[in-house]
Amino acid sequence: MKALFNNALPLFIAGLMMTAACNNPTSKQETGAADGTLKVVTLQDTAFKKTIDGKQTGLFTLKNSKNVSAVLTNYGARLVSMVVPDSAGKMVDVVTGFSGVETYKKSTEPYYGAIIGRYGNRIAKGKFTIDGKEYSLLKNDGPNALHGGKRGFHDVVWDAKQTDAHTVVFTYVSKDMEEGYPGNLTATVTYSLTDQNELKIDYEAVTDKKTVVNLTNHAFFNLNGEGSGTILNHLVQINADRYTPVDTTLIPTGVLAPVKGTPFDFTTAKTIAERIGENDVQLKNGKGYDHNFVLNEPTDKSIKLKPAAKVWGDKTGIIMEVFTEEPGLQFYSGNFMKGVCTFKGGAKDDFRTAFCMETQHFPDAPNQPAFASTLLLPGAKYKTSSVYRFSVK
């Protein structure tokens, strides 16, 4: 990680800053506002207690010894809130989300904080083939299938078990041919909050028939705090020398292109704003950053969770590091946020007021043999982990 995260960055960050409980009755979160004041947001448990498809939803709160907390719901196995200290010691909610299940269901952006499956990202033309048999999926993103379909894993109720104050386990059984995917698939996602201020997400899945699987989490982050405004002045560093360019429908062309000399070069830290407005065909295709980065593999093969990305909040000094076993990372700059929905703190989901860092296998891998396979066989286990670590400078 030393080569990835250089020592000159704290001075850059300082310059930017100078210029600018399971089923608890209520879960109080403090959000650091842009003016430095604290706003307490109370998540009402009743707003998350709903019956959907005959199953009960609710809230689950994880806490560590440093007063850091993560709040989740089993509707979509999603992360609702992540409260961490800023450089002044104030508590900041760095995850955008909503105040109840109904708001999530009605949102113009259905993926906030959710687990995405069976297949995160896009599959071209909503089709793939296994052993000569073609499977058809719902085309819910222009000509393509996106994030598991209309009722992907983000729109179902998971079984939940909070095993201790730091851990909650979500399980969902996806039936054979649900949303067009073959095989009865049992998915298990475990969220753990450590005393190192790490949110670890462990993914597992097994199937009784050959299928494709690509699970991820779709949390939307603003390291200055939910509702604090634009994320364009956040600093971003991504440990990737290559990325996968896309066509106009955001399907990878199959090329692993070098980032050097392009707006996609985040090998050294730069603000999101620095090159997002350039006249670049890939930025036009994505309407900003909405691309998969090919993560560099560590030279030390004993490293299981490789450093993927590092992001700095320009107002709070909060740092988020991402580590993963996955080969790719989707960096999304909030290009389709519409300013229609209201976050839990009262702010609107305005254009580019949150970003995503989704660990993943590559988009459209089932149709592109040169990409790492996402095929899961009966008797095998899909198993992968990612970590989001929070600190300050």
The neighbour count for residue 208, using CB atoms within 10 Å, is 13
Q: Does the active-site annotation cover 30?
A: no
Tokens standing for residue 85: 């200290």
Question: 45-48, long-range: CB within 8 Å, 24+ apart, which pairs?
Answer: 47/99, 47/100, 47/101, 47/102, 48/73, 48/75, 48/100, 48/101
Of residues 393, 380, 17, 18, the one with CA closest to residue 208: 380
In a 3-state reduction of DSSP, which class is residue 312? strand
Tokens standing for residue 101: 């299940």
Q: 360: which strand partners?
A: 328
Q: 40: which strand partners?
A: 30
User: Are 284 and 250 in contact, with CB atoms under 8 Å apart?
Assistant: no
Q: Rounded distance, CA 95 to CA 234, Å?
A: 15
Q: 56: which strand partners?
A: 51
Of these residues, 147, 178, 179, 218, which one is catalytic? 218
Concatenated DSSP letters for 64-110?
-TTS-EEEEETBTTEEEEEEEE-TTS-EEE-B---SSHHHHHH-SST
Amino acid identity for residue 55 in this structure? K
Q: Does the active-site annotation cover 166?
A: no
User: Are 314 and 20 in contact, with CB atoms under 8 Å apart?
Assistant: yes
Of these residues, 30, 179, 325, 358, which one is catalytic? 358
Q: Rounded distance, CA 130 to CA 142, Å?
A: 23
User: Are 228 and 36 in contact, with CB atoms under 8 Å apart?
Assistant: no
Tokens standing for residue 94: 């760095």
Tokens standing for residue 39: 């706003």
User: Are 219 and 226 in contact, with CB atoms under 8 Å apart?
Assistant: no
Phi, psi of 70 (to 5 degrees): -130, 130
Place of tokens 């207690």: 49
Active site residues: 218, 358
